[in-house]
Amino acid sequence: MQAEYVIVGSGSGGSAMAYRLAEAGKSVIVIEAGGWDGGPFIQMPGALSFPMNMPIYDWGYESEPEPNLNNRRLATPRGRVIGGSSSINGMVYVRGHARDFDHWRDQGAAGWGYADVLPYYKRMEHAHGGQEGWRGTSGPLHVTRGPRKNPLTQAFVEAGAQAGYELTDDYNGEKQEGFGPMEATIHKGRRWSTAHAYLRPAMKMGAELVRATARRVVFENGRATGVEVSHPNGIETISATREVILAASSLNTPKLLMLSGVGPAAHLREHGIEVVADRKGVGQNLQDHLELYIQMQCLKPVSLYTYWNLLGKAYVGARWLFTKTGPGASNQFESAGFIRSAAGIDYPDIQYHFLPLAVRYDGKTAADGHGFQAHVGPMRSKSRGEVTLKSAKPEDAPRIFFNYMSHEDDWTEFRTCIRLTREIFGQEAFEPYAGREIQPGAEVESDEALDDFVREHAESAYHPCGTCRMGAKDDAGAVVDPEGRVIGVDGLRVADSSIFPRITNGNLNAPSIMVGEKIADHVLGRSLPAENVEPWIHPDWKTAQR
């Protein structure tokens, strides 16, 4: 088996790559370890808590014990299915703030400033709503807004305004800062994963999907020539006549590189792996978003708890199955907020997802009865972790150590998150609804008590990235250059969230797809013209928090 381009991973970056390369007439093979994505738990947006907890769709990874979080091991789901993590995620669509990409550029990722990436966001989007001129309207990726009929969803945005924050009608447009509608990769009541948006259309254009597990990249004289895979019939090599492209996630891409001999030489030798290229940055610079759920009792029976019984779930499921409408047609994250934690910070560093139900990500309700919650967390933690090998066996999971809360600023930021959220829930808009605070609980007030709550209850937002950092060719810690080429070898690129120099504001699915789109153009030796537009920055950011 051979193609000009062999892509490992059918997720956000990989599917976008496959589509653009196939569209340009190139021969493409996409390797995917997981299976069919057609099950209702994946396709029904309201069932999002199921696929990320199902071994059939998820790699089932977890972190090492995290010393600053009471040695808890945190679940780290990654999609092992057609469409990758875009088939099991929460479907929230956030581009990131313009300043995130300017920071990438200034850190050595030349050509990745906001002016450079905006045209790719516009090319990939089919936005149903949003700010004219800032959004794409004819791309393969449908981006929609929920109906926002629940009064709690409305109350959250009103409370934000009452607390003195900005409103924004499109956080993916000119103005991220403020409270407003949330966007999602949902189309006609179904999850619009990259399998739907990119992979299936790519296959219609001739791209081939191979169901197998990548074991390592094969090198000849320092050039990637193929990928060794395993499948039920044994082990074979799929040859790439031009390039191998890794889009296997920020956890599996560094693992594959190290198994292939690209990584920190001492670590590779420790596992008896022959060194092809000594790149100390492989697996380093691991980042994520941590978040807390601030949960309130709801005094009126208006939350989604109405459906949290056998009959209610049957109704939601049946309605969705036959009409693709109702609560099952939304991920229920319909209102959002991006705020700054303090004066002197020029763009938002706290994100809110609002949910009209008090529930955990694994689908367990926090308290019997009606409730609502805000997911809140800092956007730019200074803590850094690593992905390393447990062994030289391809079938072994990587060792994932996030090193959460290892920077003292993280603690200050989380306390601020909790206190600012309480203030929002204390506004007039929530007066008819807000009962007692379920979590953390009104009695949890001191810095020490809040820190204890964080240690016990902080959860990953499932946004790992940064483990194959993009940078200048002469940057010893960089793994790929600004065109996604792995430094020190030939014929190998990376096109997923592992190349992010620093984590972006918000959820990572949109920037991961954008990376696939942009790296595809680098492969094809072309680029879209830059668009020099200025994002909205609060005029009083130096002196005011809101």
Q: Write the CATH number for 307.
A: 3.30.410.40
Whether residues 225 and 77 share a domain: the answer is yes
Is the residue at 205 inside a domain? Answer: yes
Model pLDDT, residue 120: 98
Question: Has 463 been annotated as catalytic?
Answer: yes
Report the CATH number at residue 507: 3.50.50.60
Same domain assignment for residues 276 and 332: no
d(CA 246, CA 56): 22
Q: Does 240 share its domain with 317? A: no
Give dist(CA 428, CA 435) in Å, integer: 13
Task: Please tell me the distance from the alpha carbon of residue 461 to that of residue 451, in angstroms, as a whole number.
Answer: 19
Say if strands 186-187 and 178-181 run parallel, antiparallel, or are unpaired.
Answer: unpaired
Q: What is the pLDDT of residue 366?
A: 61
Domain boundary among 457, 489, 516: 457
- State the Cα–Cα distance between residues 358 and 363, nearest whole angstrom: 10
Question: Is 484 in the same domain as 436?
Answer: no
Is residue 277 located within the same domain as residue 418? no
Question: What pLDDT is attached to residue 184?
Answer: 98
| Unique residue bearing structure tokens 């810690």 | 477
Ranges of residues in the chain whose predicted pLDDT is under 70: 361-367
Query: Does 338 lie in the same domain as 276?
Result: no
Residue 524: how many other CB atoms lie within 10 Å: 13
Taking alpha carbons only, the member of 348, 360, 375 closest to residue 290 is 375
Domain assignment present for 51? yes
Residue 505: per-residue pLDDT: 97
- Active-site entry in 187, 196, 463, 538: 463
Residue 153 sits at φ, ψ, to 5 deg, of -60, -40
Handedness of CA 426, 431, 433, 437 (dihedral sign): positive
Spatial neighbors of 533 by CB under 8 A, at least 6 apart, are 114, 115, 118, 134, 174
How far from 257 is each of 72, 282, 399, 435, CA to CA, in Å?
Answer: 28, 8, 14, 51
- Domain end (from 424, 439, 457): 457
Question: How high is the pLDDT of residue 49?
Answer: 86
What span, in angstroms and rounded, lies between the C-alpha atoms of 261 and 219? 9
Same domain for 373 and 233: no
pLDDT, residue 360, reads: 72
Q: Is residue 541 part of a domain?
A: no
Same domain, 219 and 278: yes
Q: Which helix (H) or strand (E) holds 438?
A: strand 434-439
Judge whether 351 lies within some domain: yes
Cα 189–Cα 376–Cα 100 angle in degrees, nearest 5 = 85
Q: How far apart are CA 63 and CA 77, in angstroms?
A: 10
Q: What φ, ψ does residue 322 adopt, rounded to 5°?
A: -95, -25
Residues 256 and 342 in one domain: no
Q: Which residues pair with 470 in a beta bridge?
A: 480
Alpha helical stretches, state H, 2-125: 12-23, 40-43, 98-106, 114-124
How do beta strands 186-187 and 190-191 pair?
antiparallel
Does any domain span residue 391?
no
Task: Give the per-residue pLDDT at 361.
Answer: 62
Instruction: Find the distance separating the first CA and the last CA of the chain, reported in whole Å.
Output: 58
The answer to whether 262 touches 26, Cβ cutoff 8 Å, is: no
In a domain, 389, yes or no: no
Q: Which domain range does residue 342 map to?
A: 147-181+290-378+406-457
- Encoding tokens for residue 75? 């679940």
Position 365 scores a pLDDT of 62
Residue 224 forms beta bridges with which residues? 219
Q: Are residues 269 and 239 in the same domain?
A: yes
Runs of H (alpha helix) within 57-193: 98-106, 114-124, 151-162
Number of domains, the chain: 2
- Residues 194 and 342 grouped into a single domain: no
Residue at 21 is within a domain: yes
How far is the C-alpha of 425 from the C-alpha of 152, rounded, in Å?
11
Looking only at the bridges linking them, the beta strands covering 28-32 and 262-263 are unpaired
Q: Could you tell me the two tokens for 262?
A: 């690209």
CA distance 16 to 29: 13
Q: Which of 421, 439, 457 finishes a domain?
A: 457
Beta sheet of 125-127, edge-to-edge order:
125-127, 141-145, 183-184
Do residue 104 and residue 246 come from a single domain?
Answer: yes
* pTM across the whole model: 0.97
Q: Domain for residue 400, yes or no?
A: no
